[in-house]
Structure 1
Amino acid sequence: MRKLKSNIGWLIDKSEYTREDLRQRYNKTANTISNWCTGKSYPSVLELYDLAELLNCKVDDLYERKVEKTD
């Protein structure tokens, strides 16, 4: 099974922005931003592109594809 691992939290931490900055920019709750960082939920496509530009990375850098072994 393939899953996405979010790199958003790490990218925010190494940027000049805070999670609060993102919360205000996207008009989201702190819980939503936290969920983006943990991969429990995802930004919209438009938000992904804006977030990548804001964090000075490619959209592909926001997530890593992981393969989980199933029993």
Structure 2
Amino acid sequence: MKSRLKIILAEKGLKNKELADLLGTSPTVISNWINGTSYPTAVKLFELAHKLDVKVDDLYEYTEE
């Protein structure tokens, strides 16, 4: 799975820090989600989609890697 979070943040005009504040987490956590070094929990994934006004499916794309 490849994160589309960086693209969505750019489209929404949001920075990692702003999203982190909305979700009550740190900018480092957001960076880790973007880079694929960690992934949000199911609860955070749905909260993330809600805050960004996107579907959960929009946050990731499937890759064969």
Q: Shorter-chain TM-score: what band? A: 0.7 to 0.9
**TM-score (norm. length: structure 1):** 0.78
Distance in 2 between residues matched to 1:60 and 1:17, nearest whole Å? 19
- Which one has the bigger helix percentage? 2
Q: How does 1:15-34 map to 2 (within 5 A)?
A: 15-34=12-31
Q: In structure 1, what is the equivalent of residue 42 of structure 2?
A: 45
CA-atom RMSD in angstroms: 1.4
**Count of residues in Structure 1 that have an aligned counterpart in Structure 2:** 65
Q: 1 or 2, which has the higher strand percentage?
A: 1
Structure 1: tracts of 5 or more residues without a match = none
Displacement of 1:57 in angstroms is 1.1
**Unmatched 5+ stretches in structure 2:** none
Q: Which amino acid aligns with 2:55?
A: K
Larger Rg: 1
Q: Which runs of 4+ in 1 moved over 4 A?
A: none
Q: Percent identity?
A: 35
Query: How far apart are the structure 1 equivalents of 2:41 and 2:18?
Result: 17
